Structures are given as structure tokens and as C-alpha cells.
Structure 1
């Protein structure tokens, strides 16, 4: 089982995002404060779990967490401020929505900007080390997948229900054939031939 949190004697939230490498849809971030007696054998980095387990864990986390919040940062904002800044903005927005103010923030990855004056720690692959970051990764991933399934109904030809907006061969082919939608990130290199150009 993963460790509960990085700082054992402080009220700590874990934060993570999903959808950073996608061509379409928002980047989604979550922040979670777990109870000190929270335990779960299955909870891990959302990428290592089946969809079924992620959905089950989402219900459990939402029921048991002291506080949690999820934020989408939409395509227009991503295009304006870039994906790294959008990811951090999403984490900040989620932390801001928590009903309990954390004394420490455990961040998945190696980049973050200070939030208020709350100390933070960046942890590479933190979602595979700490339960609170793993819980945030589950909430971010499931909320984003839900969003992508919803917009799939509007534009089924891109098959977002399955590829979630990631740059699969099929997704790039659909962009080539049908062009882009309001859900595509215009600042991203969307087609193979763009990858060789310095745009």
C-alpha cells in the first residue's frame, strides 16, 4: 500500500492533473485531503488501474475524503497560457475550492508555483507513492474522462470516448479528414506534418 501523505503531521492535500498531453479537451486537476486513518490496498496512480477500479475508487474517495475539489482548465486558456501553466492553474483552483485549508501541498511532478503561502513539495511519480496524490489522480482522470465522453456525443468522428483526446493515429486522421473543433487545443501540433515545422 502507498504511504498516506508526504508530511505525516500536517493537514496535507495531494494534487495532480490529467490530460496534459491531449490534443483536445481540458486539462483537469484535482486536490484531495484524506483522513489520517484512510487506507486502501488498490489505490494507486490512475494510469495503472482499470476503468472499473477508477470508477469504484472515485466513489470511495468522494465519500471518505475530508475535502476534495476538481477543476477543468479549458482549451482557450491552455492556448493562452500554455499547458504547464494551465496544469498548475487547475491545481491552484482545486486547492482554493477545498473546504479545509491545507497546511502542506503534495504535488505530482516536478513543477509548481507557490499557492498563497502554503509550503509545497513536488514529487516525481508522486501518484505512485502517496495515497493523497493517487486519490487526486483518480478524481482528475475520472472527471476528465466523463467530460470527454460527453463531448464525444457532439463529435463522434474523433472517438474521444475511447482515445480521450490523446494523439492516437485515429484521432490525427480524423483531424486531417474533418478539421478541428472548438474542443481542440490550437496551440498544439495537431497533425504529423506540423511536427516537423517550427510553428
Structure 2
């Protein structure tokens, strides 16, 4: 059975205080009110203490895999200060917080779906596949799973979906950070193999430099053919300056970390994702 939690409440209840009604409170204030409080607490009471937060990154780029992370944080400890939706954090903040999350987590694991899988089954199903792989690699069995967004009927695991969950549920936010740091590092490494597309800066998203690389050198095995309608991208090239500026602002410093900034475990996880791509899927549920 899958549940969905809209902003402002749990599946069982909604706030009675009109000052905390999501329709009358700015979105950011709703997040501040709801963050790290009743949703996960109530789920632990109902389902059990070991709650796995799951999130994925990499749905929007035209190159690279989609990467998911599943993480179980200790139920009785305080939240790590500064944790937030990874898109709202800078590169430096993400790297610092990722190290703390890894240190404190009861368990965490990564999963990925390759570009070939994205093209074959579509990005939505590939995201579900990456989540299944991450959950399947957890060394601790969770009592329940909580994911960002809407319930996924093709995810064959009982779970609760939380709208804006990466900004409202601590464990989902932790998963978001670990997944993003790992994918960004992976794209940097792939960018070293294919330097014409500047993946170290754009992480596979559509930018002027990326499209210019496509125009000059064509697509690589790591481009999503179902996303890359080259003729359309070239027609839009003259308009990309404004698009790039808006996208980079929305991504909030998508710039990826230098390896000197990361510990050995983070680099090993990027290697693990590369292993997924080169050797096929790992253990699945």
C-alpha cells in the first residue's frame, strides 16, 4: 500500500491552526513549519523505527545516468544542522553535509539506471529502477520507505510519498544530498573522458557549452538519445544564454566537487555507480 502526504500534514491529519494552512502561508514558511517533524515521527510510530528515505537525482539532464540513494538515519538523534533539499545547497555545503550524513547513518546505499535503460524504459521507470537498486543494496532492512513526490505504483515496496519531501523529510533530504554529490562526481569523471561537453560544470544539463559540443562532436554513449533531439537543440542555441542563466540559478550551484574535497568513501561510491553502468545492475528487490 502506498500513501501520499501533501504539504501541510500527514496521511492521518492536517494542521488545524489557520496560520499554518499551506494555502495561507508562503511555501518556504510551510517547509520551515513541517520540516523534520510529524511526518517521519508519525511513520516511525506506525511502521517501525527504521525509516529509509529515498531520493533520486538526474531526471532532467540530457547526459548521464539517474542516481538514487536510500538512507536510514538514527531515529532518536537530532537532525544534522544545515541539511536541506540538495538543490538549495551550494557545492561546499553538500560535500560537508554528505560526510556527516555518511558518518551518522545507520545504513545507506546507492543505485543507478544507465542511459541505455533510460532510453529503453523512459526516465520515470528508470528512476524507479534506480530506487529499487538502492533499496536492494541496503545492508539493514527498513521498516518502511518514504520517497519524494507522488506514490510510484511500479515501485513494488510499501512506501509513503511526500510532496516536496526532499524539503520536508530529513531522511529524504539526506538521500538527496548523497545522491547528488555522487552523481556530480560521476559526471566530472565522465567529463574527463569526453571533455568537449563540459560535464564537470553542467553535470549533463543543457547549457550553451554542452550544446556547442553536441553541434561539433555529436552524441556520446552517455547521451540520452531519447532526450537529445540535436536539430531542436541547435535551433535553440541562439536562445540558450537566457535559458542557461535561468537554469543555473535554479540548480543553485550545480558545479561539481573537486576530488580533493571528497573523502575516499565518496569517491568509492562514484566508482560503484560507474560499475553499474559498465557491468550491469546489482542486487535487486
Using structure 2 for the length normalisation, give the TM-score. 0.65
| Correspondence 1:113 to 2:132 | no
Q: 1:148 aligns with which of 143, 164, 187?
A: 187
Which fold has the larger relative contact order, with Cα–Cα distance below 8 Å and residues 6 or more apart in sequence?
1
SS at match of 2:225: coil
Does the Cα contact within 8 Å between 1:21 and 1:166 map onto a contact in 2?
yes
Question: Which residue in 2 is equivalent to 1:69?
Answer: 109
Segments of structure 1 that go 5 or more residues without pairing to the other structure are none
Q: How does 1:1-199 map to 2 (within 5 A)?
A: 2-3=35-36, 6=40, 7-9=43-45, 10=48, 11-36=50-75, 37-113=77-153, 115-116=155-156, 118-191=157-230, 193=232
Does the Cα contact within 8 Å between 2:128 and 2:155 map onto a contact in 1?
no
Does the Cα contact within 8 Å between 1:13 and 1:104 map onto a contact in 2?
yes
In structure 2, relative to structure 1, the CA distance for the partners of 1:195 and 1:16 (3 Å cut) is farther
Q: Which whole-Å CA distance do the structure 2 matches of 1:99 and 1:111 have between them?
A: 24
Q: Structure 1: which 4+ aligned runs deviate by more than 6 Å?
A: none
SS at match of 2:102: helix
Structure with the larger helix share: 2
The one-character-per-residue Cα deviations of 1:55-90 (angstroms, maximum 9, x if unpaired) are: 111111111100100112111111111100000110
Q: Which whole-Å CA distance do the structure 2 matches of 1:113 and 1:85 have between them?
A: 10
Segments of structure 2 that go 5 or more residues without pairing to the other structure are 1-31, 236-285
The one-character-per-residue Cα deviations of 1:138-183 (angstroms, maximum 9, x if unpaired) are: 0110110010000111111100000000112221221112100011
SS at match of 1:188: coil
Q: Which whole-Å CA distance do the structure 1 matches of 2:59 and 2:220 have between them?
A: 18
How many positions carry a matched residue from both structures? 195
RMSD over aligned CA atoms reads 1.9
Q: Which whole-Å CA distance do the structure 1 matches of 2:204 and 2:151 have between them?
A: 23
In structure 2, relative to structure 1, the CA distance for the partners of 1:53 and 1:71 (3 Å cut) is same
The one-character-per-residue Cα deviations of 1:12-54 (angstroms, maximum 9, x if unpaired) are: 1010001100110100000000001141120000000010111
Q: Which whole-Å CA distance do the structure 1 matches of 2:151 and 2:208 have between them?
A: 29
Larger radius of gyration: 2
SS at match of 1:8: helix
